[in-house]
Amino acid sequence: MNSDEKAIVILKRNREDKGLDVEIPLNISANELIYGLNKGFDLGINMDDPKECFLRVENPIVLLRGEKQVKDYGVRNGSCIYVRH
């Protein structure tokens, strides 16, 4: 995987959280990323409820959800991903 296919993002549970640097692939769907982060970090996202199955992103400001690839949302190094809870 070359550097164009991955990004180092900051995963935060809320705005006050300092966050964790996480390297993520950009060539997977948003749902695959949500599933992986949810399992890996025990985020408590209900994957069966489409209303809960998303992540908020800053830099750029978007909602990650669905089958669109992560790179198509413009996620890049330094993007902050927030868990909704």
Can you give the pLDDT of all 85 residues of the chain as single tens digits?
676 799 999 999 888 889 999 999 999 999 999 999 999 999 999 999 988 899 999 999 999 999 999 999 999 999 999 997 5
CATH number of 63's domain: 3.10.20.90
What is the value of pTM for the model shown?
A: 0.90
The total number of structural domains that make up the chain? 1
**Residue numbers of the domain that contains 13:** 6-82
Question: Is residue 38 domain-resident?
Answer: yes
Is 12 a member of any domain?
yes
The verdict on residue 16 lying in a domain is: yes
Q: Does a structural domain hold residue 43?
A: yes
In a domain, 1, yes or no: no
Helix (H) or strand (E) holding 55: strand 55-58
CB-neighbour burial class of residue 11 (10 A; exposed 0-12, middle 13-18, buried 19+): buried
**d(C-alpha 66, C-alpha 31), whole Å:** 5
The answer to whether residue 22 sits within a structural domain is yes
Q: How far apart are CA 73 and CA 47, in angstroms?
A: 20
